[in-house]
Structure formats: C-alpha cells, structure tokens
Amino acid sequence: TVNLYKSEKYGIPQKRHRIIIVGIRQDLNLEFKVPAPTIEEEENYISAKEALENPIILNNAYNNVRTRQSATVVERLSYIQPGENAWSENIPPHLRLKVKGAKLSQIYRKLHPDKPSYTITGSGGGGTHGYHYAENRALTNRERARIQSFPDDFEFIGKKESIRKQIGMAVPPLLSKVVFEAILKTFAGISYNSVEPNINYAN
C-alpha cells in the first residue's frame, strides 16, 4: 500500500510530505488501509507558533543551544518578514545574496507563526537551518525537534550538526505512531478510520 502522507494532516506542525510503503505477505490475507487524516481543514493545522510556545521551551532543555549568528546574518534576517525568505524585496542591496540561477525557497526563510513549519532539513549550508518567526536567529535543535513532534525529554546525542541531521532525517514520531498503530490494528483485526491510498501501485 503506497501513500503520500502529509504530516500537517496528522497533527504535526510541519508540512512534511513523504511516501510511505506498507507491505504485508500475501499469504496472510491481510489488507493494510491508509489511516485517515485527523485534521482536514487547513485552518485547524497546528502552527509553528503553537508548537514552539505551547508550552514554552525552557532555556535548559536538552539540545537547546543557540547558533551564534554573524552580525550580517542578524541584519539580513531583520528585514525578512515571517514566512518570507532571502529573496525578499525588503532586503537592502548590500545584504542580498549573490546567487546565480535557482533561488531556493528555504534560504533564510522564517517560519510563519500562524502556519505549520516548512520541512525541517537535516543538512545544508548557511541559510538552511530554519529561522524563528519573531527573533532574528536560526532555530535551536530543540525547536526543530518540537516541530518534528519529538517529546521534550528525548535527548539527542552528538555534536550540534550531527543532532541537526538526526532530527531533520527522521520521520516525525507522531506520524510513525499513526502508521504503526494502523499496522498493528490490521494484524489484530481491529477496524479504524481509513482512506483510499492516493498513489496507485500496480503489481
């Protein structure tokens, strides 16, 4: 069963879209059904602000070290509005990036407080770390973990960039829970709300 899952429809405060394939041996005569989204209306999605401020993340929380931003980056970010990126017309010429060709939408892009986060990534150079909607700085790893739906007591081990990669490469735990609960219910013969797969797969 092949399906494109949209995390924001399952209560994760992030627009992270991933294809997940569930396969069950044919001789078991079981059919996995895609668990139905828990949130259908866009206005009911969990926003980045709600994720990061409800409850407030304590300064001494695990993996909550802030990145030291250069004065240039801080100044550039000060001209970028929530939801906008490095290509904002508000940025003065001397602070604009000198990039030819494609202009990646994630570069120095601030979260929008009233919408789910864009996809949190696990790697990338300057400008790809995810940026706070109200402060001119990159997100901490704890904030990234919140957006990915990791509980606050989950401690990541390693250097800061390694932890960033662990968080960014992960499947959101709450989405994993939805899929695995559906798998367990399939094997247990317990019915649950489901939808048709949104990707057709021919044998």
Percent of the chain predicted with pLDDT > 90: 90
Mark residue 189 as left, alpha or beta (left: phi above 0; alpha: psi -120 to 50; beta: remaining).
left
pLDDT at 203 over 70: no
Give the residue extent of every domain in the chain. Answer: 2-39+172-195
Could you tell me the pLDDT band of residue 124, with boundaries at 50, 70 and 90? Answer: confident
Q: How far is residue 104's CA from residue 82's CA, in Å, rounded to a whole number?
A: 17
Cα Rg of the chain, angstroms: 19
- Tokens describing residue 67: 């990145």
Are the C-beta atoms of 108 and 80 separated by less than 8 Å? yes
Q: Which of 146, 153, 151 is nearest to 132 (CA)?
A: 146
pLDDT in tens, 137-176: 999 999 999 999 999 999 999 999 999 999 999 999 999 9
- Global confidence as pTM: 0.94
Give the CA angle between residues 124, 127, 133 to the nearest 5°. Answer: 125
Q: Which long-range contacts (CB under 8 A, 24 or more apart) does 177-180 make?
A: 178/10, 178/35, 178/38, 179/5, 179/20, 179/22, 179/35
Q: What pLDDT was estimated at residue 60?
A: 92
Residue 126 has pLDDT above 90, yes or no: no
- Please write the tens of the pLDDT for every residue from 18-68: 999 999 999 999 999 999 999 999 999 999 999 999 999 998 999 999 999
Question: What pLDDT is recorded for position 125?
Answer: 79
Return d(Cα 144, Cα 119) in angstroms, integer. 10
Report the pLDDT value the prediction gives residue 123, as an integer from 0 to 100: 87
